[in-house]
Structure 1
Amino acid sequence: MKDEEIDIIIHFEEMRKRLIYVLSSFLIFFFFSFVFVEDVYAWLVKDLEFKLAILGPGDILWIYFKISAVISVAFTTPLTAYHVWKFVSPALQNHERKATFMLIPALFLLFIVGISFGYFLVFPIVLSFMQELAGGGFQEFYTTEKYFSFLISLTVPFGFLFELPVVVLFLTAIGILNPQMLKKSRKIAYFILTLTSVLITPPDFISDILVLVPLILIYELSINLSSFIYRNRIQNTEVF
């Protein structure tokens, strides 16, 4: 067997091992999250002005599964980043290895910040708009499954979007991205971000702006951070 084929097999074996670690971590976090999920559910609904309904005995179980999955994803994210770092670190220089490793905790923090942004700002605006749209012509009736599916769809995406700067930093540090690529893609990126803000918010200008402006700022911040890392990478100096 050729050396190249042996290297490919070794890389795939390493990737498989890392994927198993990540999946195992997710399942462990999911289990512990499920133990405390009732307390999390009680906190999420404590300020609601209406009662949530269930249409079947299995509904609440699925909601507990979804909440536990979101919590598990949050805690698994930095571990996933760590295993990605371990997988690519042999190809990095020593200063690149140190710099990219320091980015890992930021993924968890930014995920939490993103979800908080969606939960405390975007979700109340969207829910209020939907309730006003219903007006007095409809009997409002919220099932637990529909409410939490709606809540998760408006919060979790922001968790991942807010991680964009760290992802860009990492990809720039390992040579996959550079600021020139990001600048050339700015128009396309703006279009995608605008489309995203329109799709996940009510059809009113204020809600769109409330979501679009932070997303654009995150993209521009990503470009600036990429430029900083790229200059230091070219100069082969310590980033941090």
Structure 2
Amino acid sequence: MNIMEHLEEMRKRLIQTLLAFLVAMVASFIYVRDIYQWLIRGMDKKLVILGPSDVMWVYFMIAGVFALAVTIPVAAYHIWKFVQPALSEQARRATLLFIPGLAILFLIGISFGYLILFPMVLSFMNQMAAADFNAMYTADKYFTFMIHMTVPFGLLFEMPAVVMFLTRLGILNPHRLAKARKLAYFVLLIVAVAITPPDILSDLVVTVPLFLLYEISIGISKAVYRKQLKLQSE
């Protein structure tokens, strides 16, 4: 295939991924009220809206996150199919794990953000406001805050699967990852501190899993890289 054929192939796969997202969005929107009620099940009062369009915007945000979760394995499949001709038969089978791996890790990351980080930060904010303010949350602000506390972690937790895939393609190797460890730790620390309350315990709760993810990624890259070297020497 020449460059134009590659671009045409990429365009087709991007369109198919976008269509999958739109279908998942419509399907999620059908059940969005049930999802909304489940997400606010622990609140003792209703959320506030400031305008008629706020309801639709909140529902679209919720449906969008669920559609994203459904679309991730579809996007991973199309990425795998796009690079498949350049891979050996064994590499194709190995990188096929990339597809369910991304979906599972995204759900784990979302769960970590929703079950651990979000309630921790929200409780801290409520305690700060309790003495001087009467807290009244709008639905728009509440769910925007929730998404900021969950979706980034869904994406960050996909690091091991992405590293495995890129190592298989020869783009990354464990030596490069180990060499970049200090910079990666610094970036992950900034991310953790930026999204958590200003206390050391909260920072540790978020920073330690992110550092572990990076080390796991290096370990996976080492295993994949060793296997590739062994196959090349045979």
Fold shared, TM-score > 0.5 on shorter chain: yes
1:185 is aligned to 2:180: yes
Structure 2: distance between partners of 1:117 and 1:181: 28
Residue 15 of structure 1 is aligned with which of 10, 13, 23? 10
5+ residue gaps, structure 1, are 1-5
Residue 19 of structure 2 is aligned with which of 24, 41, 56? 24
User: Letter of the aligned partner of 1:60 in structure 2?
Assistant: V
The residue matched to 1:236 in structure 2 has which SS?
helix
Structure 2: distance between partners of 1:194 and 1:131: 25
1:44 is aligned to 2:39: yes
The residue matched to 1:11 in structure 2 has which SS?
helix
Q: Cα deviations across residues 115-174 of structure 1 (Å, max 9, x unaligned)? A: 000000000110010011112211111000000000000000000011100000000011
1:125 is aligned to 2:120: yes
1:33 is aligned to 2:28: yes
Structure 2: distance between partners of 1:225 and 1:64: 38
Structure 2: distance between partners of 1:137 and 1:35: 40
Structure 1: distance between partners of 2:71 and 2:82: 16
Structure 2: distance between partners of 1:69 and 1:140: 27
Aligned-residue CA RMSD (Å): 1.0
1:109 is aligned to 2:104: yes
Moved over 3 A (4+): none
Structure 2: distance between partners of 1:199 and 1:139: 25
1:216 is aligned to 2:224: no
The residue matched to 2:2 in structure 1 has which SS?
helix
Q: How far did 1:204 drift?
A: 0.9
Residue 157 of structure 1 is aligned with which of 152, 173, 183? 152
Q: Cα deviations across residues 170-192 of structure 1 (Å, max 9, x unaligned)? A: 00011110000100000000000
Q: How far did 1:12 drift?
A: 0.5
Counterpart of 2:193? 198
Structure 1: distance between partners of 2:74 and 2:158: 14
User: Letter of the aligned partner of 2:7 in structure 1?
Assistant: F
Structure 2: distance between partners of 1:130 and 1:84: 40
Counterpart of 2:72? 77
Residue 172 of structure 1 is aligned with which of 167, 170, 180? 167
Structure 2: distance between partners of 1:54 and 1:69: 19
1:134 is aligned to 2:129: yes
Structure 2: distance between partners of 1:190 and 1:197: 10
User: Letter of the aligned partner of 1:28 in structure 2?
Assistant: V
Counterpart of 1:3? none
Structure 1: distance between partners of 2:124 and 2:31: 32
Structure 1: distance between partners of 2:76 and 2:13: 10
- Identical-residue share of aligned pairs (%): 53
The residue matched to 1:148 in structure 2 has which SS?
helix
Structure 1 window deviating more from structure 2 (98-107 vs 176-185): it is 98-107
Structure 1: distance between partners of 2:135 and 2:119: 16
